[in-house]
Amino acid sequence: MLSGKLWPAHPKPHNGECLSSWLVRCAHSNGLKLQTFCRLEFGSNYQLWNRDIDRHIPQWLLGKISEKVSVSCEELEKHMLSLFEGRLFPELTLSGQLRWLCPLVIKHRLHNGYGMQFCPQCLAEGAEPYYRLSWRVGFYTFCPYHQIIMHDRCIECGASVSFHRCELGKPGIYKDANMACCWKCGFDLRQSPNHHVRFWNKVLFERWAAQLRAIDRQFVNCGKFDFDRLILLHQLCRLIVSKSLAPDLQSYICNLCGQPERELIKTKIAFEQRSLAERHYVISLAKWLLLKYPRRILLAIGVRVIRRNWLYRDIELNDKSLLAVCAVR
């Protein structure tokens, strides 16, 4: 059993690493399998992995981890989804869909959703693979460094990314488990194909990539970050995929920007639960409409492909210039 004030091995979290990824690395660094490590350190009465620990972890448990690795709770919270509270979504709740957050959909320690995305080239860099908190964000559909489309599942068996299960079916020692490998079939996710992003509008994708890099930096030294614009972006994405609220919006945007129209899945699931390819396509259309704001929005409202009351329904904006558009008649 582990003892002492600090864990024998207590690696610090990598920049941008999510708490769950770092905790798996801590277990392996101490020569233990994850479940054994958590049982010894946190007790058998608390089942840590049947919940989204990047979204919520009890304060007492966070405090205990803080003591064992000599990292403050405030610093650890920067590796949790609370970092996005008041930025990407208004309030971090324990359950329910949050704006821009890809859900894991956990049941019996299984991830039934595809909430953890990954860039195969990012996983391959450095001494050991780890998973970034920013990869949980719904508009993080491509890697801004390698300019390739993200993945959200194993291309061999279709399983979701569940690196906390990488030891299952392996009775050998802990080091045989690799967080970069699929927990179900063992495929090395770093070998996933690299599909390069098609930058059909240079300004659009440069601004998009800058947003993603700012999130990776935990919003440090990112200048003025327009969170209100992200609220409008999300609302536009919801309208583009809706055949009842804005049935002609997708065709309207495609005709103006010269992009081919694609068939969208007819479902009422949350936008963050749609396929990664579909999210990337829809977000790019919505971002094009937001370029030169508010002119393109007002034109779309003028030809009645967007209804003003649906565009601004159930959202709160702080920017007075954005609020002014809502008041225009």
- Give phi and psi for 286, each to the nearest 5: -65, -40
Judge whether residue 321 has pLDDT over 90.
no
Residues 158 and 237 in one domain: no
The confidence score (pLDDT) of residue 166 equals: 85
In DSSP terms, 142 is beta-bridged to: 149
Residues 31 and 148 in one domain: yes
Q: Select from 186, 190, 187, 222 the least CA-distant residue to 207.
A: 222
Which of 218-232 are b and which e, b meaning 16 or more Cβ less than 10 Å from the residue's Cβ? beeeeeeebebbbbb
Task: Output DSSP code: residue 106.
Answer: E
Q: 295 exposed, middle or buried (CB, 10 Å; 0-12, 13-18, 19+)?
A: exposed
Domain count, the chain: 2
The confidence score (pLDDT) of residue 45 equals: 81
| 3 state SS of 218 | coil
In a domain? residue 197: no
Q: Select from 157, 182, 284, 272 the least CA-distant residue to 233.
A: 284
Residues 178 and 47 in one domain: yes
DSSP strands (E only) in the chain: 106-107, 110-111
The confidence score (pLDDT) of residue 1 equals: 44
Residues 178 and 38 in one domain: yes
Rounded to whole angstroms, the Cα distance separating 317 from 329 reads 18
The confidence score (pLDDT) of residue 226 equals: 86
* More confident of the two residues 147 and 324: 147
Residue 182's Cβ-side half-sphere holds a number of Cα atoms within 13 Å equal to 18
Rounded to whole angstroms, the Cα distance separating 119 from 32 reads 27
Tokens of 14: 């990598």
Query: Do the Cβ atoms of 133 and 81 come closer than 8 Å?
Result: yes
Residues 140 and 260 in one domain: no
The confidence score (pLDDT) of residue 48 equals: 85
Residues 260 and 186 in one domain: no
The confidence score (pLDDT) of residue 317 equals: 67
Tokens of 45: 């009465």
Judge whether residue 306 has pLDDT over 80.
yes
Tokens of 42: 């946190």
pLDDT grade for 76, boundaries at 50, 70 and 90: very high
Rounded to whole angstroms, the Cα distance separating 259 from 284 reads 10
Least confident window among 114-118, 156-160, 318-322: 318-322
Largest CA distance in the chain: 69
Judge whether residue 267 has pLDDT over 80.
yes
Percentage of residues of the chain with pLDDT beyond 70: 91
* Per-residue pLDDT tens over the stretch 239-259: 999 999 999 999 999 999 999
Residues 156 and 39 in one domain: yes
In a domain? residue 263: yes
Whether cis (ω within 30° of 0) applies to the bond prior to 294 is: yes
Domain boundary among 191, 213, 246: 191
Residues 174 and 249 in one domain: no
| Domain with 40 in it | 19-191
Number of neighbours of residue 168 by Cβ within 10 angstroms: 13
Judge whether residue 283 has pLDDT over 90.
yes
In a domain? residue 220: no
- Give phi and psi for 121, each to the nearest 5: -75, -35
Rounded to whole angstroms, the Cα distance separating 319 from 284 reads 23
